[in-house]
Amino acid sequence: MSQEAIRKALRAAPDGLTVTELSKLVYKHRTNVNISVRSMPDVYIDRWTKAARQCNTFIPIYIAVEVPENAPKPD
């Protein structure tokens, strides 16, 4: 689905992206992007920013990280 496109867009944006910014880049509705980022294990909220028009609303900024192939248990 659009998870690979979301992942690619986030990895290309080191400062992160909002759901609205992502939806414009991957040409998917914000609701679909929001559902996708919440289910992706390599995507998380890096920080929050204050919404421009609503004084008590904060918007999450998402980033994607590289997941290691193997994380062996220590001896």
Tens of pLDDT along 4-34? 999 999 999 999 999 999 999 999 999 999 9
> Does position 1 have pLDDT exceeding 60, yes or no?
no
Tell me phi and psi for residue 71, to 5 degrees: -120, 85
Give the global pTM: 0.81
Of residues 3 and 2, the one with the higher pLDDT is 3
Q: Spell out the domain ranges in the chain.
A: 3-64
> Does position 44 have pLDDT exceeding 80, yes or no?
yes
Q: Which burial class, exposed, middle or buried, applies to 64 when counting CB atoms under 10 A from its CB (0-12, 13-18, 19+)?
A: buried
Count other Cβ atoms within 10 Å, centred on residue 62: 24
Q: Of 1.10.10.10, 3.40.50.620, 2.60.120.560, 3.40.50.2020, which CATH number belongs to 3-64?
A: 1.10.10.10
DSSP 22-68: HHHHHT--HHHHHHHHHH-TTEEEEEEEE-SS-TT-EEEEEEE-PPP
> Does position 60 have pLDDT exceeding 70, yes or no?
yes
